[in-house]
Amino acid sequence: MGKYFGPYGGQFVGEVLKGALAELEEAMQNILPSAAFQDSFRRLQETYIGRPTPLCRADNLSEDLGGAQVYFKLEGQAQTGAHKINNALGQVLLAKCMGKTRVIAETGAGQHGVATAAAAARLGLSCDIFMGTVDIRRQQPNVFLMKQYGAAVHPVEDGSRTLKDAVNAALKNWVEESSTTHYVLGSALGPYPYPDLVKHFQQVIGRETRQQVLHDAGRLPDMLVACCGGGSNAIGFFSPFLDDPVALIAVEAGGYGNRPGEHAVRMEGGGMPGIIEGYHSLFLQTEDGQTSATHSISAGLDYPGIGPELAYLGSTGRITFTRAGDREVLDAYGILARREGLICALESAHAVAAALKIAPTLGREALMVVNLSGRGDKDLFITAGELYRDAWREFLQQEAGRLADETH
Amino acid sequence: MRRIKIMAHLVAGFPSPEGWKAAAAALRNAGVEILEIQIPFSDPTADGPDITAASEASLRQGFRVRDIFSCIAFGRELGFEEIHVMTYANIVHRYGMEQYIRDMADSKVTGLIVPDYPIEDDHGFYRTAAGYPLAAMPVAVPTMNSTRLRMLADLKPVCVYAALRQGVTGRKTEIDGETFGFLEKLSEMRVYAGFGISHRDQLKALESRAYAAVIGSHITRAASRSSSPEEVYREVDAAIHQCVY
Ligand SMILES: Cc1ncc(COP(=O)(O)O)c(C=O)c1O
């Protein structure tokens, strides 16, 4: 475990949070390695999350692209539809072992909120989710799912009313309630020890991939590609390969332009070093140090900061960062559905878009694995609106009319 | 006769540049000795709803970090005995930490508060500031264990900001035996005690146990009730008169 990754990381929090973070660090050291924890967690991974998730060879796409043999790691097959459950369930189980009775979480797209709510329901803890009102409006289906799992969803009216403000609200609530409550942070960022804790639970993606590729191809892959918001799927996928000769490509949200507010590209010169939400890393911010607005078609990548370990590995060149724009992402989403029968999350479609560009530049003997961090059902209201605007509007109006008639 | 000083906390540029001046004047005219000015930040993780909303409003109106210097100058014209500047680590980091400390010292600021520079993750903030004629004030909280209290003492701070309870700013705090026990542990330092103070009874309870009592959200709430400088003056004047005696 490390508190710093080069200059990045750390624990830049008010003194009020120091005690809770120390308690968490101690629990990680004592509880995570215990046989009791590992046994229960393994059982939950197999019987509830549905691990291992499949590694799927993409023969049609590989043929089309005429370059590397492409594989997809299907994290969307995991319970609740994304890799987020790996971390959420692990942390909720840890919280239960710590004697906590309640968990809280922030959510943007709602995927981490849904995963935490499901895990809390499964393990019998009460659950409160903080979500910006802008996100609540654009992610109603996930708000609905969280409520089905018995969680309370608290609207956050501060700041830009999006993910970063939900993180702030969750931190404030934790400060008040830390004796009974564990804060389930959703990505590999925030104050130490969260980047390590989240990586710990997400590494299963890379470990399984390694075994599965070795089994199928008899050797390690040449390249891994993952999308990168806060970076939990990317670091979990990459970290078991850091010491191997495997190229690692992380794909950020290019949005629709290069100006501030039009994208969420923190690496490649967009982000500046900063200390926000408890950690030192690269952030999209103004000259004064106020966080900037961001944009992405995928809510999960729409965040101004990046996990400290990824920022560091980007600065050393171990991980190469690239971007994919909203348009390319929608195209990649469609191609994947038609050629491989896979409907992926818009976040994951960023990785697919980059893979479509890179694979043809590699030789036929090269092996590339793309992490499909989530499946695409959650995005129906966005993708349908983008791809079939008129038909979708008509459908929504008709449904609204039907509901109005029924209430009369 | 009041035997504890008052440190009033205002978010710079709130509720408007002119409204801010009116609020500061009302405080000084009511006899407040110390002014704490907060440079607004987009992600204030230690603040309650009132100060968070005030920071946002100030930023929305275009407040820039460099505008703090005219606020400091105005505070000095009003004759406050001490002027402290509070903000978050990212503002200091972007400004350049040593430059920030130097410029604040040059403006005759007497103290700096950065709540998310904890004792050991401060990029050297407390030691750097020790070389300048101002006090960098670490934050102490009642839940600190003896190890952390010792680490705090090792910094040899002249002044310390004591948050009187767990949580964020805003809610009212009961001053009781536990509070006193906590403050006794800080008796070697000059203590500015705050969080949830809105009434003179709380100040009386803190007399002789703290050097100053900090009043923040209570005044910010008052200042938020209007934007015309005259009204702001009246609201802040009424609010601070619940505390002075
Ligand atoms: C499917 C999916 N992929 C990726 C992300 C981005 O998060 P991270 O970069 O932490 O993996 C999210 C976040 O909500 C997501 O839902």
- pLDDT at A356 exceeding the cut of 90: yes
CB contacts < 8 A, A to B, total 101
| Residue of higher predicted confidence among B112 and B166 | B112
- pLDDT at B220 exceeding the cut of 70: yes
Average pLDDT over residues A245-266: 97
- pLDDT at A268 exceeding the cut of 90: no
User: Which one of A135, A227, A342 would you pick to mutate in the ligand 1 pocket, going by the greatest count of ligand atoms within 8 A of its CB?
Assistant: A227
pLDDT of residue A244: 98
- pLDDT at A1 exceeding the cut of 70: no
Average pLDDT over residues B114-131: 96
pLDDT of residue B166: 79
The long-range contacts involving A288-291, CB below 8 angstroms and separated by at least 24 positions, are: A288/B64, A288/B65, A288/B91, A288/B94, A289/B41, A289/B65, A289/B90, A289/B91, A289/B93, A289/B94, A289/B95, A290/B41, A290/B42, A290/B59, A291/A160, A291/A164, A291/B42, A291/B43
Convert the pLDDT of each residue in A8-56 to its tens digit.
Answer: 999 999 999 999 999 999 999 999 999 999 999 999 999 999 999 999 9
Mutation choice for B interface testing from A163, A180, A275 by most B CBs within 10 A: A275
Strands (E), A343-391: 367-372
Percent of chain A with pLDDT over 70: 100
Rounded to the nearest integer, the mean pLDDT of chain B is 95
- Per CB distance under 8 Å, which residues of B are interface residues toward A? 41-46, 48-49, 52-53, 56, 59, 64-65, 88-91, 93-95, 115-119, 121, 138-141, 143-145, 148, 163, 166-168
Distance from CA of B230 to the nearest CA of A (A): 28
Residues of A with CB below 8 A from B143's CB? Answer: 16, 19
Convert the pLDDT of each residue in B81-103 to its tens digit.
Answer: 999 999 999 999 999 999 999 99
| Sign of the alpha-carbon dihedral angle for B225, B228, B234, B239 | positive
Active site residues of A: 84, 106, 373
Average pLDDT over residues B180-198: 94
Look at B119 and A19 and tell me if their CB atoms are within 8 Å: no
What is the rounded CA–CA span in Å between residue A304 and residue A162?
11
CB of A174 closer than 8 Å to CB of A20: yes
pLDDT of residue B171: 73
A106 touches chain B (CB under 8 A): no
Taking CA atoms, what residue in A is nearest to B64? A288
Domain ranges, ordered by start, for chain B: 5-240
pLDDT of residue B172: 77
User: Which one of A73, A79, A84, A194 would you pick to mutate in the ligand 1 pocket, going by the greatest count of ligand atoms within 8 A of its CB?
Assistant: A84
Helix residue spans in chain B (DSSP H): 17-29, 49-60, 68-78, 89-95, 97-106, 125-129, 146-154, 177-184, 200-206, 217-223, 229-240
Task: Name the class of domain B5-240.
Answer: alpha beta
User: Which one of A237, A298, A377, A379 would you pick to mutate in the ligand 1 pocket, going by the greatest count of ligand atoms within 8 A of its CB?
Assistant: A298
What is the rounded CA–CA span in Å between residue A185 and residue A274?
20
What is the rounded CA–CA span in Å between residue B130 and residue B108?
15
Kind of pairing, strands A102-107 and A126-132? parallel
The angle formed by the CA atoms of residues A170, A175 and A179, to the nearest 5 degrees, is: 110
CB of A260 closer than 8 Å to CB of A324: no
Partner residues linked to A248 by β-bridges:
A224, A319
Give the CATH fold of the A50-81+201-384 domain.
Rossmann fold (3.40.50)
Average pLDDT over residues B43-71: 96
Look at A12 and B121 and tell me if their CB atoms are within 8 Å: yes
Residues of A with CB below 8 A from B65's CB? Answer: 288-289
Question: Is A86 exposed, middle or buried, given 0-12, 13-18 or 19+ CB atoms closer than 10 A?
Answer: buried
What residue spans in chain A does CATH classification 3.40.50.1100 cover?
4-46+83-195, 50-81+201-384
Band (pLDDT 50/70/90 cuts) for residue B134 is very high
- pLDDT at A131 exceeding the cut of 90: yes
Minimal Cβ distance to A288: which of B91, B116, B138: B91
Percent of chain B with pLDDT over 70: 99
Task: Looking at the CA of residue A76, tell me the nearest atom of ligand 1.
Answer: 1
Taking CA atoms, what residue in B is nearest to A274? B90
Convert the pLDDT of each residue in B23-36 to its tens digit.
Answer: 999 999 999 999 99
CB of A165 closer than 8 Å to CB of A132: yes
Active site residues of B: 36, 47
Band (pLDDT 50/70/90 cuts) for residue A407 is confident
Rounded to the nearest integer, the mean pLDDT of chain A is 96
Residues of B with CB below 8 A from A283's CB? Answer: 90
Distance from Cα A347 to the centre of ligand 1, integer Å: 6
Average pLDDT over residues B59-69: 98
Taking CA atoms, what residue in B is nearest to A281? B90
Mutation choice for B interface testing from A164, A165, A179, A288 by most B CBs within 10 A: A288
Distance from Cα B57 to the centre of ligand 1, integer Å: 31
- pLDDT at B170 exceeding the cut of 70: no
Average pLDDT over residues A188-205: 98
**CATH, range A4-46+83-195:** 3.40.50.1100
Residues 6+ apart with CB under 8 A from B142: B163, B164, B165, B166, B178, B179, B182
